Amino acid sequence: MSQQSHEHERDRPTGADVLDRLAGDTCVQPTCDGTLDRQPFKGTDAVVCDDCGTPPVRVWEVADD
């Protein structure tokens, strides 16, 4: 996986932690059977459903305190 982001390549412990917890969960869509997978979404870290592509959470600039 190549991560070429430079704008958002900062410390983001809170966001990463949230994403780690969400990854592997089932999709938020009741009609979907997909699994949430960590991947960039529009240049930000996110988790999106690997089936329908729904991003339940996106992390932009996260203040870590």
Ranges of H-type helices in the chain: 13-22
Task: Give least dist CB 52 to Zn ion, A.
Answer: 3
Task: Give least dist CB 20 to Zn ion, A.
Answer: 19
Sheet with 57-58: strands ordered across:
36-41, 44-49, 57-58
Task: Give least dist CB 57 to Zn ion, A.
Answer: 13
Q: State the first-to-last Cα distance of the chain, in angstroms, to the nearest integer.
A: 29
What's the token pair of residue 58? 């996106």
Q: Give the residue with the Cβ less far from Zn ion, 3 or 30.
A: 30
Q: Give the residue with the Cβ less far from Zn ion, 14 or 29.
A: 29
**Which residues would be at the binding site for Zn ion (CB under 5 A)?**
27, 29, 32, 34, 49, 51-52, 54
